[in-house]
Amino acid sequence: MATSEVKPLIYRPPPRWYFWTALGAALAIHLTAVAVSQRHEAPAVELPPQPPQVVEAVLAPPESTPPPEDIPIPEPPPPPDIKPEFVEERTPPPRQPQNTQKFTPIKAPGPMSMSRAKALALYAPHPQYPYEARSRHVTGSGVIVAQVDAASGNVTSVSVSSSTGSPIL
């Protein structure tokens, strides 16, 4: 039986030439930067000083500008004749006689069953978690005992069976 080398299935190291190519490129870039920084330029040649030159200028007298000519203003055009627009008057549609129906008042619901009360308690929206407790990562669980009126479904009394241990909650 020939044994073959077992290669890992997930991790495959990159080929060695990747490493040597990257190292060579980095070395070439650094050597080029060093060579460019070592280059010296020749000092600038200083020219002999020149005597200052004097320029004389004479201002010409300002020319007198002729007064502006009066431009005749054209008369505004006469206002256009406004013709009244024709507006078609629509007659309102005939009103339909409203049927008066007797409305029956909504009756108060009968006594609530325990299964319905339990479903309402389980699927009621949860109260907002206090901001301070959320920001401090305070968590805990407590047990509240509530007595519910079977006829109306309202809570009559509440007591804490076990506390969370945090005054914020």
Residues 123-154: tens digit of each pLDDT: 888 878 888 888 888 888 888 898 888 777 78
Specify whether the CB–CB gap between 160 and 144 falls below 8 A.
yes
Give the contacts of 145 (CB within 8 A, at least 6 positions apart). 158, 159, 160, 161
Residue pair 164/128 in contact (Cβ under 8 Å)? The answer is: no
Domain boundaries, the chain: 109-164
Assess whether pLDDT exceeds 90 at residue 25. yes
Amino acid making up residue 150: A
What is the C-alpha to C-alpha distance for residues 151 and 117, in angstroms, rounded to an integer?
10
Measured torsion, CA atoms of residues 107, 113, 116, 120, in degrees rounded to the nearest 10 = 80
Q: Name which of 42-56, 93-107, 117-131 the model is least confident about.
A: 93-107
Q: Which helix (H) or strand (E) holds 131?
A: helix 131-135
Taking the whole predicted model, whether its pTM rises above 0.75 is answered as: no
pLDDT of 9 above 70 = no
The tokens of 151 are what?
A: 């006829």
CA distance 135 to 133: 6
Tell me the CA distances in angstroms from 164 to 131, 133, 169, one per residue in order. 16, 12, 7
- Residue 118: the pLDDT is 81
